Amino acid sequence: MPGRKLFLRLRVVSFVVSVSLLCVASAFAQSGRRGQKSQAPPVATPTPIPKAPEKKEKPTVTFLVGVDKYLGFSNIPLSFYRSVADECADRLRSEPGVKAEVATQEMNRTDAVRKAKEMKEGFVVFLLLKVETVSGDPSFVSNLDQIYIEYTVFAATTAKIAAWGHTYQQGYRKGGVVVGNPTPGRGNPVRSEYLLKQAAREAADRILEALKMGTSPQPIATRN
């Protein structure tokens, strides 16, 4: 009888120990699973791509081209005045960042100075057709080949002279080569007008060079 009671106690103790161990093992397994829970990988912060520096557009420079049509010479064709103004403006505006237009109203030197002072920026180009030598009647040009261009550039606001000079009917030079004349003959109006157009473009080249804006001279296109 005492032996049987001892046997039962041992079985109870053994059962309690087994249950205790099972609980411990279960708790350890649960803890392990919680410890091994997968975590989301850290999100990498994207490296900012440096922006390319913005290209600053070259500021536009404005020119207003005017010519005095009534200096006192009675026999200079009126087309000469418009031709030299148009050709000068055309050469100026062919340069990147340049805007040029021809004045729609008559302009003498006083008008050019006044207009420059009224402008907030840019330049006024004032052109004059002059004659190298005058004999007899001072208002009459005996030889159209003697006509040349005088140019004066007035700065906006102050009307200070930014460039000044003369160009002549000597053929437009490019790379040291003189472009041939479209028509032969001395004192021919067509020939003189053509050469004055060349002189007007040369004046524009000199103006751009004086203002540190020019690239290279551009020859006049042959026109009928």
Residues 188-197 pLDDT 10s: 899 999 999 9
- Residues 143-157 have a mean pLDDT of 94
More confident residue, 163 or 50: 163
| SS3 state of residue 220 | coil
Q: Could you give phi then psi for residue 58, rounded to 5 degrees?
A: -65, 130
Please report which confidence band the pLDDT of residue 127 belongs to, taking 50, 70 and 90 as the band edges: very high
Residue 47's pLDDT is 73
Contact 100, 39 (CB under 8 A): no
What's 218's DSSP letter?
-
DSSP, collapsed to helix, strand or coil, labels residue 108 as coil
Q: State the average pLDDT over residues 119-144.
A: 85
CA distance 105 to 168: 25
pLDDT at residue 191, rounded to an integer:
92
Question: Token pair of 87, please?
Answer: 């050709």
φ, ψ of residue 163 in degrees (nearest 5) = -160, 150
Closest CA to 89 of 78, 104, 99: 99
**pLDDT > 70: percent of the chain:** 61
| pLDDT value of position 128 | 94
Cβ atoms of 124 and 153 closer than 8 Å: yes
Report residue 170's pLDDT band, with 50, 70 and 90 as the boundaries: confident
- Under the banding of pLDDT at 50, 70 and 90, the label for residue 43 is low
pLDDT for residue 185 = 41
- What pLDDT score does 96 carry? 93
Neighbours of 112 (CB within 10 A): 24
In this prediction, residue 176 has a pLDDT band, given cuts at 50, 70 and 90, of very low
DSSP assignment letter at 75: S
- Average pLDDT on 113-136 reads 90
Token couple for 112: 């050019």
**CATH architecture of the domain covering 61-210:** 3-Layer(aba) Sandwich (3.40)
H or E element at residue 204: helix 189-210
For the cut 50, the answer to whether the pLDDT of residue 220 exceeds it is: no
Contact at 8 Å (CB) between 125 and 65?
yes
Return the domain boundaries, the chain.
61-210
Confidence of residue 23 (pLDDT cuts 50, 70, 90): low
Pairwise pLDDT comparison (142 vs 102), residue with the higher score? 102
Can you give the pLDDT at residue 49?
75
